[in-house]
Structure 1
Amino acid sequence: MTDLIKTLESQEEELVLDSFDHNDAWRLGSHITRIAQEAKAGVGIDIRRPGLIVFRSALPGITADQDVWIARKAALVLRMEASSALVDARLSAAGVDAAAIGWLGPEYAITGGSFPIRVRGAGVVAAATASGLTSQEDHDLVVAGLRAYLAEGASK
C-alpha cells in the first residue's frame, strides 16, 4: 500500500497547472474524452468547480448511475483536496472506514476516478472525474488526460 500511496502522491506533485479557466476545462475534458473514445471506453467525464460543472461528456455505454458516482467522487476531491484514489489508499492503509464511523456521508465516494485540478500558488480549484470503468481505470484515464493536456502546453 505504501508504494501505491507514493505513486499517487507523486502524480499529484507532477500534475500541477499554472492556471485553469473554462477554456482550459474544455481542452482538458476533450483530451480525456479522446483517450476514452480511442479505448472504446463507455465513461462519463466531468470537470467541476465547487457549484459549477465546466465540462461534461457522456460516451456510449454509460448509465445514469455514473452521474451519481461522478458527483460523489468529485465531492470527495473538493473536500479532501487529494485524488479520490489517494484518499482511498490512505484510509485503507490506516484501517479507517470513514463511512462506517460517520465521518463521510453518502454524498462522498471513497474510490478512484476523480483527480484534483491544482493550480500553482492557488491550490485545488476543480476536480476532473471519470466513471464507468474500474476505479483504477477511471483514475488512470484522468491522469492520462492531464498528462496529454500538459504535454500539449497547458497555457495555450
Structure 2
Amino acid sequence: MEKLEIKLNEIEEQERELQFDYFSSDSALKIGLIIIEKAKILSKPIAIDITKNSNKLFYYCFDGASPDNYEWIRRKNNVVNRFFRSSLYIGTKLKLINKTIEEKYLISSKEYAPFGGAFPIIIKNTGVVGTITVSGLSQEEDHNLVVESIKEYLNLLQNNKK
C-alpha cells in the first residue's frame, strides 16, 4: 500500500511539473522524435501517438509493432481524456483500492485501459488538451519513456530561452 501511495505522489508531481506554455504540431513532432531516439536504444517495437484536441499530430510505429499497440493507445488515451490524469495514475489508484475500472467507474475495460503509457498534455492555466502515449513496453517503461521525453523537450525549450 505504501509503495502505491508513493508512486501516486510521484505521478502527481510529474503532472504538476510537466506542463506546457503552449503545444503545437511542431511540439508534437519534436517530442515524437525524442521518443523515437530513446526507443531506438531499447530496440523494442513500440507505437507512439500524440493527439491534441482529438487531432492526431504524430503517430509512429516501429517495425514489429502490432495492431494491438494501436488499440492499447486508444484505450489508454480514453482514460486520460476521461479523468484528466495519466493512465498510470488511474491504474495505480485502482490498485490502491483493489478495484477494477468496471467496479469503480462502471466503464468497460474494452474501452478504457488504466495502464501506464498515456500522459496528459497539460497547458498551464488551461488544463488537459491531449495525450502523449507509448505502447509496446511494460506499463512502467511506457510511462517513463513519455515522462523522460517530455522532460527533455521542456529542458530544450528552457535552454533556448537563455
Identify which of 101, 126, 133 aligns with 2:137: 133
Q: Which residue of 1 aligns with 2:85?
A: 82
Q: Secondary structure at the match of 2:57?
A: strand
CA distance in 1, matches of 2:158, 2:102: 36
Cα separation, partners in 2 of 1:3 and 1:102, compared to 1, 3 Å: closer
Taking only aligned residues, the RMSD between alpha carbons, in angstroms, comes to: 1.6
For residues 56-135 of structure 1, the aligned pairs below 5 Å read: 56-100=59-103, 103-105=106-108, 106-135=110-139
- Kept after mapping to 2: 8 A contact 1:17/1:154: no
> Structure 1 regions of 5+ residues with no counterpart?
none
Calculate the TM-score normalised by the size of structure 2: 0.90
Give the paired residue count. 156
CA distance in 1, matches of 2:41, 2:47: 14
CA distance in 2, matches of 1:141, 1:81: 19
Calculate the TM-score normalised by the size of structure 1: 0.93
- Kept after mapping to 2: 8 A contact 1:50/1:78: no
Q: Secondary structure at the match of 1:57?
A: strand
Deviations, residues 37-75 of structure 1 (Å, cap 9, x unaligned): 122121000011243211001112211110100111011
Structure 1 runs (4+) deviating above 3 angstroms are none
CA distance in 2, matches of 1:41, 1:142: 15
Q: Which residue of 1 aligns with 2:147?
A: 143
More helix, by proportion? 2
1:101 deviates by 5.7
1:98 deviates by 1.9
1:32 deviates by 1.1
CA distance in 2, matches of 1:121, 1:10: 17
State yes or no: 1:43 paired with 2:50. Answer: no
> Structure 2 regions of 5+ residues with no counterpart?
none
Matched residues, percent identical? 31
Q: Which residue of 2 aligns with 1:14?
A: 17
